[in-house]
Amino acid sequence: MHNRFFLRKLAAAFIAAAAAASMPATAVAAGADTPTRIVVGFAAGGALDVFARTLAEKLRVSLGETILVENRPGASTQLALESVKRSAPDGKTILISPAPPFTIFPLTYKRLPYDPDKDLVPVAYLADLPLVASASVNQPYKTMPEYVAWVKRNPASTGFGLVTLGGTVHFGVLTLRKAIDVPLTPTAYRGAAMMLTDEIGGTLPVGVDAIGGQMELHRAGKIRFLGVTGTKRSALLPDVPTLREAGVPGFDMASGWYSAFVPAGTPAATVSRLEKALLDAVKDPEVRAKMAALGMEMAGQPGAQARKIILGQRAQWKPVVAASGFTADD
């Protein structure tokens, strides 16, 4: 009797093991109770972190899952990308990334720990992050054409402020420099606050950064806005012309953006499920209003469109980067 009971238990164990082995690896690795992680490559407290946490609140409801935000700063967001790349392709790990790792880094880094086209799948293009050129209200120019005329008369004052060398603003400045035949100097700062301090103090003629970080100084009457990046005016600053409208080339694709990605190999049905949930989230009026206060415009485009945008922007910047000779090295 004892032997028969033991044999029945042993047979049941073999059946259970065989059933588990026949299940897809993703189903075994990620049960319904496994939290979904949203990974961002910046420290907590910044605009992208706030955005990720806002989306997480919406996804908890729409997906009916536990959603955690994981901050993995370092190596210009490459640590976060590599972490997601190595995650199981089960829909339980989502990267929310800015544009440069997919549009600029492949052109400026000799080696990357990820392949931007093969290792990660775009799920949704979530938000635009328009930038704005600004200057102290004490400067003699009030528009970008006036600034261009002024800098031509003052070739010793060619500093053009930005917060990252090797980014789209940097290459936009190089494009403008060539167009107006003035040796503009891309001047990088550790942060927007330091750049704006020099602007207000008059030691920096003009600088470009995200709208959200400059609004309070603009409202306080300390800086004026000269033009926004992109091909259309920002809904956040409808009265400010684009730099293209102002006759300043080089900044049509210099705006930032945030998109969501998952590891390659994630099932198409899972990607579609996440895409719908994320697009519904960024259409939510509460999300749109909260993010507008941080200088973001919710976009809400599917993953296929995100891929087209990435490839198009990379193609535009490729000859500019190549002509500059710039290479990045962390």
Residue 53's pLDDT band, with cuts at 50, 70 and 90, is very high
Is the Cβ–Cβ distance between 104 and 49 less than 8 Å? Answer: no
- Angle, helices 285-292/268-283, rounded to nearest 10 degrees: 70
pLDDT at 95 > cutoff 70:
yes
Q: What DSSP string describes 15-75?
A: HHHHHHHHS-HHHHHS-TTSPEEEEESS-TTSHHHHHHHHHHHHHHHHT-S-EEEEE---G
Phi, psi of 257 (to 5 degrees): -155, 165
pLDDT band at 31 (very low <50, low <70, confident <90, very high): low
Q: Please tell me the number of Cα atoms within 13 Å of 281 on its side-chain side.
A: 26
Q: Mark 26-37 as b/e (b = at least 16 C-beta within 10 Å).
A: beeebeeeeebb
Kindly state the average pLDDT of the residues 35-39. Answer: 97
- 131-228: which CATH architecture? 3-Layer(aba) Sandwich (3.40)
Section 56-76 average pLDDT? 95
Q: Hey, what amino acid is at 212? A: G
3-class SS at 243?
coil
Residue 27 CB partners (closer than 8 Å, separation 6+):
90
Asked if the model's pLDDT at residue 33 lies above 60, the reply is yes
Q: Give the Cα separation of 42 and 50 in Å (integer).
A: 11
pLDDT confidence of residue 257: 96
Mean confidence (pLDDT) of the chain: 90
Do the Cβ atoms of 84 and 39 come closer than 8 Å?
A: yes
- Inter-residue contact 233 to 132 (CB < 8 Å): no
pLDDT at 75: 87
Q: What is the pLDDT of residue 329?
A: 75
pTM: 0.86
Please state the rounded mean pLDDT for residues 127-145.
Answer: 97
Task: Please state, in angstroms and as integers, the Cα–Cα distance from residue 156 to each residue in 141, 184, 195, following that order.
Answer: 16, 9, 19
Q: Is 165's pLDDT higher than 50?
A: yes
Average pLDDT over residues 133-154: 97
Mean pLDDT of 184-206: 95
- CATH number assigned to the domain covering 32-128+256-324: 3.40.190.150
Query: Would the pLDDT of 30 be above 70?
Result: no
pLDDT at 246: 94
3: pLDDT strictly greater than 80: no
In this predicted structure, the answer to whether residue 14 has a pLDDT above a threshold of 80 is no
Q: What size, in residues, is the chain? A: 330
pLDDT at 8 exceeding the cut of 50: no
- Residue 26 confidence (pLDDT): 40
Percent of the chain surpassing pLDDT 90 = 85
Q: Give the pLDDT score at 292.
A: 95
Mean pLDDT of the 218-237 span: 96
8 Å CB contact between 306 and 259: yes
Q: Do domains 32-128+256-324 and 131-228 have the same CATH topology?
A: yes
Domain spans of the chain, in order of start: 32-128+256-324, 131-228
Region for residue 91 given its phi and psi (left: phi exceeds 0; alpha: psi -120 to 50; beta: otherwise): left
Instruction: Quote the pLDDT of residue 259.
Output: 98
pLDDT tens string 284-298: 999 999 999 999 999
Q: How confident is the model at residue 330 (pLDDT cuts 50, 70, 90)?
A: low
For the cut 60, the answer to whether the pLDDT of residue 282 exceeds it is yes
What is the structure's pLDDT at 221? Answer: 97
In the predicted model, what is the mean pLDDT of residues 308-330? 93
pLDDT at 32: 61
Distance of CA 13 to the CA centre of its chain: 49
* pLDDT over 50 at 74, yes or no: yes
